[in-house]
Amino acid sequence: MESSRDFCSTQDNNKLYVAGIGPGGMGYLCRRAVEVLQQADTIAGYTTYIDLIKPLIKEKNIIQTAMKKEVERVEAAIDTALSGRSCVIVSSGDPGIYAMAGLVFEMCRKKNIAVTADCKTDKHALQIEIIPGIPALASGASLLGAPLTHDFAAISLSDLLTPWELIEKRINAAAEADFVIVIYNPKSKKRSGHLEKAQKIILKYRDKNTPAGIVTGAMRENQHIQLTTLENLHTAEVDMQTTVFIGNSTTFDYQGFMVTPRGYARKYNL
């Protein structure tokens, strides 16, 4: 079915964008994100993400908050848009993957704010446009080679919003089902042992020599890439800017690249 939605001008009232800025490098922003960042009145975001896009937003009104202030940031952005000024909330990666898009809609529902994706539908509703960005699982995978060519599962190890018991259940299920596993938020100052716990769970189902890729600061100045094994995963240096990739039963290391075959060799006798 074809969509009848039209792009709305950033000059329209009651306009809220939620834009992904990708991994961080200016060359990896999509054109639509650049366009709205340049034209919107106000930019809202976590301090680090605001710093990454400063060349595009020098003269803008900035709503800038620290980590764990997401609710306050989104509330201020919604209020700004409803006051008649266009506003962009920025997220690293993609705004719909472990990011701000969901919270925007949750808060609109809680406040009973009418929303629309089509500027022609309701002039009084809050117009919301979600602008995709390159997620960490895609930028990290591109640096490793081709680890996600077959089915994969993404799991965050942060238990700030999700109980650890549920995270463990998801790790077990993904490991048993032989998904390639992408791990977000593997470690912080308060969560130093979660990656090792995940490793032990996955080792119940995977060979100890299963390739594992670690990408920190993808496409940023602090970029670091490491290819290791599941057995040695606990020795890798990781932080909150790290994405971890754990292969499935067919993933292999080829001359420093991590590759998960799709099945072409078996089907076509390559």
In terms of domains, do 104 and 214 share one?
Answer: no
Residue 7 DSSP symbol? P
CATH number at residue 47: 3.40.1010.10
Cα separation of the two ends of the chain: 38
pTM of the model: 0.92
In terms of domains, do 31 and 122 share one?
Answer: yes
In terms of domains, do 130 and 219 share one?
Answer: no
The string of pLDDT tens digits covering residues 110-126 is 999 999 997 666 778 99
CATH number at residue 214: 3.30.950.10
The string of pLDDT tens digits covering residues 190-215 is 888 999 999 999 999 999 999 999 99
Residue 32: inside a domain? yes
Residue 107: inside a domain? yes
Please report the pLDDT score of residue 202 as a whole number.
Answer: 98
In terms of domains, do 148 and 105 share one?
Answer: no
Final residue belonging to a domain, choices 80, 110, 134: 134
In terms of domains, do 169 and 219 share one?
Answer: yes
DSSP track, 151-197: -EEEEE---SSS-HHHHHHHHHHHHHTT-EEEEES---SS-SSHHHH
Final residue belonging to a domain, choices 81, 112, 134: 134
Residue 10: inside a domain? no
In terms of domains, do 78 and 157 share one?
Answer: no
Is residue 74 a contact partner of residue 91, using CB atoms and an 8 Å limit? no
Structural domain total, the chain: 2
In terms of domains, do 77 and 123 share one?
Answer: yes
β-pair type (115-116, 42-46): unpaired
Residue 100, domain extent: 15-134
In terms of domains, do 21 and 106 share one?
Answer: yes
In terms of domains, do 26 and 125 share one?
Answer: yes
The string of pLDDT tens digits covering residues 62-96 is 998 877 789 999 999 999 999 999 999 999 999 99
**Counts of helices then strands in the chain (DSSP H, E):** 8, 14
Is residue 143 a contact partner of residue 137, using CB atoms and an 8 Å limit? no
Q: Which residues face 135 on adjacent strands? A: none
The whole-number mean pLDDT for each consecutive block of 10 residues of the chain, a chain of 270 residues, reads: 49 84 91 95 93 91 86 96 95 96 97 87 87 98 98 96 97 98 92 94 98 96 96 94 97 98 82
Residue 43: which of 98, 91, 111 has the closest Cα?
91
Final residue belonging to a domain, choices 134, 160, 193: 134
